[in-house]
């Protein structure tokens, strides 16, 4: 009795496991197949978008993306095959095997009916035995019925045991086939996809920075060249000195104006002093000499020379009082020559650190 009850519990548990989990696995496999199909469609859309984008790019990018997109699109054929194989050989097999539990459940119900019939026959036999006045024939019939019911239950137990063994064997075979088919589909997808993807690095190497960046680098180089030219023109303008253009459009040279002012002032002072010496005598009488005009012209030439030498540093002279002695001796010689009525030679003036000599 205990063995038979254990068999009933075992059959019930095994059948319920298959009913619950196999149907759940079949539903999940359906989701996987739908996901793989959608993923293949999305990969295909991505590949087409890459190819459309590559048509507007540089030659290297165009070639790389077009080849890469075609490679991705071909790899999705294996993904679709995986979805079809999983749907037909895995999900359908799981559902089909789940339906086979109905047969074993029917056998279990038949066995339970026979068991109940056996119990009834046993009760009838026990009742007849309890009666003292029971007929022998009725008692014998009850014993035969109980024995036949007991034999039917025994045969049902044997059949149910064989059925559960066969059921578990088919279940193991089904699980092995399901896993083998699913693994094979995954391996085919991975191997074929890997075979396709192995050429992807070659397509990536089609991108050449020297060619694909040529457009932007040329633009950058032109902008930098323009900036360097502008900076060079600005430095040339600064080297021009202090020459500026006024609002009237005339050039103003300040250094030349300053030199002219200095030379004009010195010329006027020397001219007045020289004329005073020649025209003014000791008693205030003046006399005119035609050589004064020549002297004035010589002084004008000297002033022009002096104006041109303004701003130039003369070489240093040895001796502290050398310039002073030279100027005194030249003044004495000029006075002596003027007293004798001779014209004094004009000595070219030189610029020293302290002034003109």
110 has pLDDT over 50: yes
Q: Over pLDDT 90: what percentage of the chain?
A: 6
Q: Over pLDDT 70: what percentage of the chain?
A: 63
Do residue 77 and residue 167 come from a single domain? yes
Higher pLDDT among residues 186 and 329, named by residue: 186
Do residue 60 and residue 181 come from a single domain? yes
**Final residue of a structural domain among 170, 187, 212:** 212
**pLDDT given at position 311:** 43
Let me know if residue 253 belongs to a domain: no
Residues 61-74 pLDDT 10s = 888 888 888 888 88
Do residue 168 and residue 315 come from a single domain? no
Let me know if residue 221 belongs to a domain: no
Residues 199-240 pLDDT 10s = 778 888 887 777 767 777 777 777 877 777 777 777 666 665
Let me know if residue 318 belongs to a domain: yes
Residues 6+ apart with CB under 8 A from 175: none
Domain that holds residue 131: 2-212
Nearest to 206 by CA among 310, 71, 325: 71
Mean pLDDT calculated for residue range 103-123 = 83
Residues 6+ apart with CB under 8 A from 97: 18, 22, 170, 171, 174
Let me know if residue 299 belongs to a domain: yes
Q: How high is the mean pLDDT of the chain?
A: 72
Let me know if residue 179 belongs to a domain: yes
Residues 243-272 pLDDT 10s = 544 444 444 444 444 444 444 544 455 555
Joined together, the tokens standing for residue 280 give 């003014």
Q: pLDDT grade, residue 10 (50/70/90)?
A: confident
**Final residue of a structural domain among 183, 212, 241:** 212
**pLDDT given at position 41:** 93
Q: Where are the beta strands (DSSP E) in the chain?
A: 244-245, 251-252
Do residue 67 and residue 207 come from a single domain? yes
Strand partners, 356: 351
Do residue 47 and residue 195 come from a single domain? yes
Do residue 72 and residue 190 come from a single domain? yes
Let me know if residue 199 belongs to a domain: yes
For the entire predicted model, the pTM comes to 0.52
Question: Using an 8 Å Cβ cutoff, are 67 and 206 in contact?
Answer: yes
- DSSP symbol at 49: H
From 33-37, 113-117, 208-212, the region with the lowest mean pLDDT: 208-212
**Final residue of a structural domain among 189, 212, 235:** 212
Do residue 26 and residue 117 come from a single domain? yes
Question: Using an 8 Å Cβ cutoff, are 51 and 70 in contact?
Answer: yes
Residue 131 sits in a domain of what CATH number?
1.20.1270.60
The tally of domains found in the chain comes to 2
Do residue 201 and residue 307 come from a single domain? no
Quick one: CA dihedral 293, 294, 298, 301, positive or negative?
Answer: positive
**pLDDT given at position 34:** 92
Let me know if residue 227 belongs to a domain: no
Q: pLDDT grade, residue 307 (50/70/90)?
A: very low
Residues 117-139 pLDDT 10s = 888 888 887 877 777 656 777 77
Residues 86-96 pLDDT 10s = 888 888 888 88
Let me know if residue 80 belongs to a domain: yes
Do residue 55 and residue 182 come from a single domain? yes
């Amino acid at each position: 009795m205990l063995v038979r009850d254990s068999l009933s519990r075992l059959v019930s548990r095994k059948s319920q496991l298959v009913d619950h989990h196999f149907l759940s696995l079949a539903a999940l496999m359906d989701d996987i197949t739908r996901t793989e199909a959608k993923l293949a469609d999305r990969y295909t859309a991505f590949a087409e978008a890459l190819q459309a984008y590559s048509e507007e790019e540089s030659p290297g990018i165009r070639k790389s993306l077009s080849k890469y997109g075609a490679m991705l699109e071909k790899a999705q054929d294996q993904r679709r095959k995986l979805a079809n194989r999983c749907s037909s050989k895995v999900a359908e097999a799981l559902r089909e095997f789940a339906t086979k539990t109905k047969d074993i459940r029917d056998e279990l119900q038949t066995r339970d009916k026979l068991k109940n019939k056996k119990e009834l026959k046993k009760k009838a036999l026990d009742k007849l035995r309890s009666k003292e006045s029971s007929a022998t024939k009725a008692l014998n019939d009850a014993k035969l019925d109980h024995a036949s019911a007991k034999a039917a239950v025994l045969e049902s137990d044997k059949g149910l045991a064989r059925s559960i063994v066969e059921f578990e064997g088919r279940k193991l075979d089904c699980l092995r086939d399901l896993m083998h088919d699913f693994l094979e589909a995954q391996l085919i997808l991975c191997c074929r996809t890997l075979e396709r993807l192995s050429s992807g690095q070659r397509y990536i190497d089609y991108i050449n920075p020297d060619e694909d960046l040529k457009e932007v680098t040329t633009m950058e180089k032109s902008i930098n060249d323009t900036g360097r030219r502008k900076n060079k023109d600005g430095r040339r303008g600064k080297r021009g000195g202090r020459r500026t253009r006024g609002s009237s459009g005339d050039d103003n040279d300040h250094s030349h104006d300053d030199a002219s002012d200095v030379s004009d002032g010195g010329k006027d002072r020397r001219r007045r002093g020289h004329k005073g010496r020649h025209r003014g005598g000791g008693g205030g009488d003046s006399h005119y000499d035609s050589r004064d005009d020549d002297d004035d012209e010589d002084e004008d030439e000297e002033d022009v020379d002096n104006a041109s030498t303004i701003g130039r540093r003369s070489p240093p002279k040895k001796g502290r009082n050398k310039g002073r002695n030279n100027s005194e001796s030249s003044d004495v010689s000029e006075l002596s020559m003027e007293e004798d009525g001779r014209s004094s030679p004009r000595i070219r003036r030189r610029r020293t650190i302290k002034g003109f000599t």
